[in-house]
Amino acid sequence: MKVLGGRYLTSADLRAAGLAEVGNGVLVHETAQLVDLDRISIGDNCRIDGFCVVSAAGGAIALGSHIHLATGACLFGSGGIRIADFANISGGVRVYSVSDDYSGATMSNPMVPERYKALDRQQTDIGEHAIVGSGSVVLPGATIAQGVAVGALSLVTKPTEPWTIYAGQPAKALKPRRRDLLQLADRFLAERGQNPT
């Protein structure tokens, strides 16, 4: 891939930097920021584009294989984030696994010691073949199930049902999502000499 105005770090670069685990064929743009490298795992054939933030922040972030994080996507993994194979996180998406208490009962922001705060930390998972549209926000514990498509600018506040299309603020189920892509994924993996799912 030819790039003007920045380069992509390779799997070898990332291994040397000290990530917990790095598969083959991984590309991370040099303007992306990765925090707590020893708590970030990336599977095979993933790409993280420019100006993304992947911050484990004391938690853990695990990316499967064949995952794309588009420009400006941010993962805040203090409560843990797992993203399964073939998921696509579009530009400007925010995935949170921790949030401050907004009620006013406690203080907030990272410059205040935790004893004065009531953080909501929950594992946040994004399933295999899920796609999260540009500008969407996924809140702590709002699991994106297998095959879910989330429309652009949506706010996901609770777990979703598999193979469903969601959109809105808050996100609501609109209709079932087709599963044709599963056969394409099997063919893709077979062509690469990998076992289909």
Asked if residue 163 belongs to a domain, the reply is yes
For 54-70, the pLDDT digits (tens) are 999 999 999 999 999 99
Q: How far apart are CA 178 and CA 12, in angstroms?
A: 37
**What is the rounded end-to-end Cα distance, in angstroms, of the chain?**
28
Backbone phi, psi, residue 164, to 5°: -130, 145
Per-residue pLDDT, averaged over 183-195, amounts to 93
The chain-wide mean pLDDT, for the chain, equals 97
* Residue 197: per-residue pLDDT: 59
Per-residue pLDDT, averaged over 73-77, amounts to 98
61: which 2 tokens?
């972030």
* Residue 38: per-residue pLDDT: 98
* Residues in a beta bridge with 164: 176
User: Which of the residue ranges 71-75, 122-126, 151-155, 191-195 would you say has the lowest mean pLDDT?
Assistant: 191-195
Asked if residue 3 belongs to a domain, the reply is no
Asked if residue 50 belongs to a domain, the reply is yes
Which letter, b or e, does each residue of 182-193 get, where b requires 16 or more Cβ atoms within 10 Å of its Cβ?
A: beebeeebeeee
Per-residue pLDDT, averaged over 37-49, amounts to 98
Enumerate residues 6+ apart whose C-beta is below 8 A from 139.
96, 99, 124, 155, 156, 157
* Residue 58: per-residue pLDDT: 92
Task: Inform me whether the pLDDT recorded for 141 exceeds 90.
Answer: yes
Asked if residue 164 belongs to a domain, the reply is yes
- Strand pairing class (164-167; 172-176): antiparallel
Q: How far apart are CA 77 and CA 70, in angstroms?
A: 17
For 96-134, the pLDDT digits (tens) are 999 999 999 999 999 999 999 999 999 999 999 999 999
SS3 content of the chain, % helix, strand, coil (to 5): 10, 30, 60
Confidence class for position 11, pLDDT limits 50, 70, 90: very high
Asked if residue 45 belongs to a domain, the reply is yes
Per-residue pLDDT, averaged over 40-46, amounts to 99
- Strand pairing class (137-138; 74-76): unpaired
Residue 32 belongs to domain with CATH number:
2.160.10.10
Domain that holds residue 103: 8-191
* Residue 158: per-residue pLDDT: 96
Give the three-state DSSP class for 55.
strand
Task: Inform me whether the pLDDT recorded for 5 exceeds 80.
Answer: no
Asked if residue 1 belongs to a domain, the reply is no
**Measured between alpha carbons, how far is residue 125 from residues 10, 42, 75, 114, 195 in Å?**
25, 15, 11, 24, 24
Using a pLDDT cut of 70, give the percent of the chain over it: 98
Using the structure block, give the residue that is written with the tokens 């994924």.
185
Asked if residue 197 belongs to a domain, the reply is no
Per-residue pLDDT, averaged over 27-33, amounts to 98
Q: Quote the number of domains for the chain.
A: 1
Task: Inform me whether the pLDDT recorded for 92 exceeds 80.
Answer: yes
Asked if residue 172 belongs to a domain, the reply is yes
